[in-house]
Structure 1
């Protein structure tokens, strides 16, 4: 079984890298032999750059998975305000959200909500979930909803889109490596490496939290939980 998993993993990696590599080679050869006119080179260079970025992202994702699963990545725990982190991550998506003419409904308390976790890794979780939501939001009437709720000493963070939803048969596999729901293949902007949600699951598991996905034809909600933490001690003012 382990050997089969390894073979499948290598086959998936090879398949996912072969596609962008073939595109890059095809475009470069077409520019070299004149099939693509010189005045269109700039456009195709941008496409080549996009493909190289996608490959780079996939390699980084694979390295992250390998480090986490091998135990090489140790969590750098600190106490921080999860709502502040959510706001900071959202800012990085402003341009994409604006380009899609989408709305954001951030249901966050003004009061800080503290967790003890690896801030960088939880930032990566938020980034991957928001990125996933934006991909599947419809053009011109997309809605991204994100909220945090405290209950029984746990903090629950939900990221919701109003995209086409995930078929029931795909929900059970949504966190599997390289798994892409059928609608991800057909819905505009639904491309990806199939690794982002796997990393989300690994990171949340590493924090001893939980994550689940719920979906309908009206959209998908991803919710993860972390243990609530006490506020960090206030720094004492320096003595004069």
Structure 2
């Protein structure tokens, strides 16, 4: 009987000791968690007393803390990008508006000959077209981002979409005095997608190449297993590795002065549309050439 009592006493002591350590561990966790929430600490929670339940609880809390840290990082990045985007939009809109205002003031002087008037009016019209492009890009991106935006999926002949886009760019190729090297492996490569969205993707990639090429442009549409790859390559002297990493970012332009007529939205819009059609798009800078690949799954009849 005495032995049983002693054993019970030992068990009770062990249980109380165990509860005591658990209580102290929970107090320490609570104290450290408060410190983290108050911004006084950035370290994850740790435990010094082994207990399976407490260890599991600590792991789950640490997961939430990591998600919170990542959320804060993403929030700061978004705020910085938003401020930069707002500044860029203001710059892009202000530049043609200032130019238009200046030429209107010249026209109001009244001492211009007909040739000068015609020249200034043509310049104003060009600046208005630039504004129209800017506003259309902004509007299109806002549409793509909206919850209500829906694509009309259907069987689309991507080969034909590329051919039509190339024909529409013939005048621009001629003006730039460049003859693109074109390779369309098959005239009937079908995918499931939105015809208009696909046309926009191809047009944006071609426009980017025409705008920034140095001496050549290569365009190809090829099969790779069960996928089709639309590839646009152009040599360039303005891009760096940092540009490669950010080339699909909204409002990003390799031309840091933003002196061109674009918004830096063309490739971003192309990527958003490709992703919405379960495709992929990526860029690589290799041997002073920008290589942009757009990939979709082939629809076999």
| Cα 1:160–1:45 shift into 2, 3 Å | same
Give the structure with the larger strand fraction: 1
Give the structure with the larger helix fraction: 2
Shift of 1:71: 2.2
Which of 148, 152, 157 is 2:221 aligned to?
A: 148
Rg larger for: 2
Query: Is 1:117 the counterpart of 2:221 in the alignment?
Result: no
Which of 178, 181, 189 is 2:254 aligned to?
A: 181
> Are 2:232 and 2:292, in contact at CA under 8 Å, matched by a contact in 1?
yes
1:206 corresponds to: 276
Larger RCO, structure (CA 8 Å, separation 6 or more): 1
The TM-score with structure 1 as length reference comes to: 0.85
- Count of residue pairs the alignment pairs up: 225
Shift of 1:12: 2.6
Give matches, 1:1-240, under 5 Å. 1=75, 5-34=81-110, 37-138=113-214, 142-164=215-237, 166-182=239-255, 191-216=261-286, 218-231=288-301
TM superposition outliers: structure 1 runs of 4+ over 6 Å: none
Q: Could you give the per-residue CA deviations for residues 93-115 of structure 1, whole angstroms, max 9, x where no partner exists?
A: 11111122211211112441111
Where structure 2 has 5 or more consecutive residues not aligned to the other structure, the ranges are 1-74
Measured in 1, the distance between the counterparts of 2:257 and 2:231 equals: 21
Measured in 2, the distance between the counterparts of 1:146 and 1:5 equals: 32
Where structure 1 has 5 or more consecutive residues not aligned to the other structure, the ranges are 232-240
The TM-score with structure 2 as length reference comes to: 0.69
